[in-house]
Structure formats: C-alpha cells, structure tokens
Amino acid sequence: MKLRFWISIIFLLSITAACGSKDVNELSAVNQHGKEVSVPQAYAGEYWVADFIFTNCETVCPPMTGNMSRLQAQLEQENLDVQLVSVSVDPENDTPEELLSFAENYQPNYEQWDFLTGYSFQEVKEWSIKSFQSPVKKMEDSNQVAHGTSFFLVDPDGNIAETYSGTKAESVAKIVEDLKKYKSES
C-alpha cells in the first residue's frame, strides 16, 4: 500500500513539473518558402503567436487559420509587430509548396506569418507535447491528425504567456488586448 502511494505521489509530481514547464523547446523547420527556421530562436526577443494545423484538415484548421488571418489584420491595424507561426502536424504531406498553396487562401503577409514543416511527425508530436502540452495523434484509418486547437502567445524569452481558443473569433480581440498590455509593460 505504501509503495503504491509513493508511486502515485511521484507520478503526480512529475505531471505537475511537466505542466509547469512553459519553455518552448527547439525545433528545426522550414517555412512555406523553404527557408530554414529554428524555433524559438527565430522569434527570440519578440512576442509571437503559434498554432498547430495541417493542409488537408477537414474540421478545425480552416476556421483556426481564418482566425489567425483576422489576427494578422488586427495586429497590422494596431501597428503591433508580432510574428505568427502555424506549425504543420502532418509534415509528410505538408511540403513548403503545399503550405504555400494552403496559405494563399488567407492572404498572409509572409514577413509576419510563417507556415512550418520540414521535421518528422514524431518530432512535431514530441515538440507539441513538451513545449505546449498539446497532444498530437494520427487518426487510425484516416488521413486526419488530431491536434490541439489553441493559439499560444509566446513571450520574448520563449515562454508561453497565454493560451486562447483558436476556433473562437473573439480570441483575436483578446490576443490583441493582451499584446498591447504586455508590450506597454516591457
């Protein structure tokens, strides 16, 4: 009985420690133009917003990417220089060319918005879980990938400052509001 108790305590402590970790780990990727991008170093010193998508998604990715597009427009309107980063969870299919074709439907400003691929599925799965506590899983007998639907606001030090629903349009205004507050404090 005591052994099971201590195993449970150790297990809970390890989960708590993992959840408390907010540092975004390193990921080597390429963007929609085939340019190498090292995350989070490429965005160090600035606020940035990340999400997870894939191009043949039949459910949440189109509305999430639409919200990211609205966020980009709001950021430009408010004169906030914030990088947007959409990370593919289907890198075997999402080549830079596929991402570029997908992205065009959302009128991105590529100076401000990267669509990333160029790593293995296992790498992005581990990175998503370790950095964002956001699980990724290939669906059996399907070409779909289950993934989190959050937008993550990452601070200049590479820590997750806030998490928002990527499927809710009202998140866009909240992100802009939070960015104004954070940038005025720094």
The predicted pLDDT at position 22 comes to 64
Q: How confident is the model at residue 9 (pLDDT cuts 50, 70, 90)?
A: very low
Ramachandran region, residue 80 (left: φ > 0; alpha: ψ -120 to 50; beta: rest): beta
The CA distance from 167 to 28, in Å, is 27
The predicted pLDDT at position 75 comes to 97
CATH fold of 27-185: Glutaredoxin (3.40.30)
Q: What is the pLDDT of residues 26-81, one digit of tens each?
A: 999 999 999 999 999 999 999 999 999 999 999 999 999 999 999 999 999 999 99
Domain extent listing, the chain: 27-185
Binding residues for Cu cation: 57, 61, 147
Binding residues: 57, 61, 147
Q: Token pair of 82, please? A: 């914030």
